[in-house]
């Protein structure tokens, strides 16, 4: 009975916070004997001034270096790896450092000062720091990407990293009322409700071009033939020392004209902020519009898309939904900014890297849930993506260039269409579970952009009045952001 009452009090408190637009701090509604048990919770405290570390209140066998730089705390990755059971690897010859757990892989190259998270590029600045020849990593970045809680006391100059179940409360900035503090000590008590997932067999074929993600030579980045409905998701970074461009070519090798109908597209401007770039492209795609038609004559090659000139390390990102009335060969190419793009289709394939690419049969997944089957008055969680496996949830297909099997880790380019029947009067909150999320959601016809979210932060994406028979959401992993995440449905009075 006490557990039931505590959950009801918590639900009422969260409802009140959402009714107020999230402008209040998360209330402490639990008594000491109702607090979540912490017998298995790991907590690491870094005392910067003393150069000491404690793990669950005890000194570890080895203490590694730490420092503060530009307001960020940097520590040796091995310190956190030993405390939280991560795998830490370092190759002194290549200067490659890899930190991984079951869901996340952080790869940093100290020599090139480049970083990748789950094979997606991440800014080295703010993630890694080389001090006295040693590579240190930001605890904020590690905690976000690994799904941990992180806090910092600027007076005591102590930083805390802990399991997400670590009890904490975050005040909400009144200037950012969509941010909702998520207390994972209590969040896990909300039921994870079932949503029936059905891959849409009628969805478009997905062409995913992301390898080499950072191209260091010009050439063809990906190629496949399309006849019918397709979605092209391209994301690349100019790794050349000079200006370059990324483009998309269509070649008609038949003896009859072929028409390409653009039905939906999202194009982001060149940027070194890859997460923001991913959000802008996803938001534009969700908004729809920008329909167009192009005809490709027999034996002709047509440039369907070309970026503006990309400076070194500028990213290029775009998503296109198209329908062709005949077979066309699609090429994604990288070329010098000063040369005609069509020349690039006859260049060799650029060497692929560790990132993913491929052609996948499914680009949309439908999820359905009925709130009438949930416990009345209780918040409920709907998970988008799986936790506990890097491979069990993600789309499988074929690398059309090599013919080898391919997997789309992160399901980039895959859209989830979630329909909730009988939602009642409720607030809906997007809650990331692993690492940075900066994306967009279409909520009952309206596109909502999120700001950068970290573990312990949710984002209010919409509400229902109680009169709706159902509510529909479109969600997906934006380029530069990470799955899985959840939709928290909170009943409102």
Contact 401, 453 (CB under 8 A): no
pLDDT at 39: 36
pLDDT at 394: 83
pLDDT at 6: 34
Q: What is the residue whose two structure tokens read 């930001």?
A: 138
Q: What is the residue whose two structure tokens read 């209040």?
A: 24
pLDDT at 8: 38
Rounded Cα distance, 142 and 145, in Å = 5
Residue-by-residue pLDDT tens, the chain, 493 positions: 323 333 333 444 454 445 444 332 222 222 223 333 333 457 788 999 998 998 878 888 888 888 888 888 888 888 888 888 888 887 777 778 888 877 788 888 877 888 888 777 777 777 788 777 777 888 888 877 777 777 777 788 888 887 765 443 333 445 555 666 666 666 777 888 988 888 777 789 999 999 999 999 999 999 999 999 999 999 999 999 999 999 999 999 999 999 999 999 999 999 999 989 999 999 999 998 777 999 999 999 999 999 999 999 999 999 999 999 999 999 999 999 988 777 777 788 998 888 899 999 989 989 999 999 999 988 899 998 765 433 457 889 999 999 999 998 888 999 999 999 999 999 899 988 877 789 999 999 999 999 888 777 788 898 899 999 999 999 998 998 888 889 999 888 7
Contact 7, 378 (CB under 8 A): yes
Both tokens of 342, joined, read 């069509």
pLDDT at 181: 60
As to burial, measured by CB atoms within 10 angstroms (0-12 exposed, 13-18 middle, 19+ buried), residue 369 is: buried
Contact 333, 249 (CB under 8 A): yes
Write the DSSP assignment of 239-250 as a string of letters: -SSS-EEEEEEE
Question: Would you mind telling me the total number of residues written for the chain in this entry?
Answer: 493
pTM confidence score = 0.71
pLDDT at 38: 32
Q: Hey, what long-range contacts does 285-290 have (CB within 8 A, 24 or more apart)?
A: 285/319, 285/321, 286/440, 286/441, 286/442, 286/447, 286/474, 287/447, 288/264, 289/264, 290/262, 290/264, 290/265
């Amino acid at each position: 009975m006490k557990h039931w009452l505590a959950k009801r009090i918590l639900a009422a408190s969260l409802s009140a916070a959402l009714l107020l637009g999230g402008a209040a701090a998360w209330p402490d509604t639990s008594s000491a004997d109702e607090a979540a048990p912490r017998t298995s919770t790991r907590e690491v405290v870094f005392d910067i001034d003393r150069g000491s570390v404690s793990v669950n209140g005890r000194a570890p066998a080895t203490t590694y270096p730490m420092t503060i730089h530009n307001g960020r705390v940097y520590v040796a990755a091995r310190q956190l790896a030993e405390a939280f059971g991560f795998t830490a690897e370092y190759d002194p010859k290549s200067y490659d450092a890899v930190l991984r757990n079951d869901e996340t892989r952080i790869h940093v190259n100290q020599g090139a000062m480049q970083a990748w998270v789950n094979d997606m590029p991440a800014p080295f600045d703010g993630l890694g720091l080389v001090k006295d020849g040693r590579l240190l990593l930001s605890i904020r970045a590690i905690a976000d990407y690994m799904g941990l809680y992180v806090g910092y006391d600027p007076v005591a100059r102590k930083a805390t990293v802990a399991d997400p179940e670590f009890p904490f409360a975050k005040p909400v900035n009144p200037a950012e009322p969509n941010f909702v503090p998520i207390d994972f000590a209590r969040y896990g008590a909300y039921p994870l409700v079932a949503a029936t997932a059905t891959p849409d067999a009628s969805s478009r074929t997905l062409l995913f071009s992301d390898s080499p993600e950072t191209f260091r030579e010009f050439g063809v980045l990906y190629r496949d033939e399309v006849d019918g409905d397709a979605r092209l998701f391209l994301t690349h970074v100019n790794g050349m020392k000079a200006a370059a461009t990324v483009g998309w070519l269509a070649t008609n090798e038949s003896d009859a004209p072929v028409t390409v109908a653009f039905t939906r597209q999202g194009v982001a401007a060149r940027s070194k902020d890859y997460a923001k770039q991913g959000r802008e492209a996803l938001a534009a795609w969700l908004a729809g519009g920008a329909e167009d038609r192009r005809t490709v004559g027999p034996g002709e090659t047509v440039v369907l898309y070309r970026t503006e000139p990309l400076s070194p390390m500028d990213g290029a990102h775009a998503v296109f939904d198209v329908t062709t009335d005949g077979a066309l060969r699609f090429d994604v190419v990288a070329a010098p900014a000063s040369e005609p793009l069509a020349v690039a289709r006859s260049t060799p394939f650029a060497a692929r890297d560790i990132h993913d690419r491929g052609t996948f049969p499914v680009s949309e997944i439908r999820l359905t849930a009925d709130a009438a089957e949930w416990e009345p008055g209780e918040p409920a969680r709907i998970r988008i993506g799986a936790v506990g496996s890097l491979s069990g949830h993600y789309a499988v297909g074929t690398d059309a260039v090599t013919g080898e099997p391919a997997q789309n880790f992160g399901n980039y380019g895959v859209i989830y269409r979630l329909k909730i029947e009988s939602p009642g009067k409720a607030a809906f909150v997007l809650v990331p579970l692993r690492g940075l999320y900066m994306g967009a959601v279409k909520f009952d016809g309206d596109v909502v952009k999120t700001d950068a979210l970290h573990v312990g932060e949710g984002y209010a994406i919409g509400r229902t009045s109680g009169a709706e028979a159902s509510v529909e959401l479109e969600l997906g992993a934006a380029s530069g952001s990470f799955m899985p995440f959840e939709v928290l449905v909170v009943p409102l009075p």
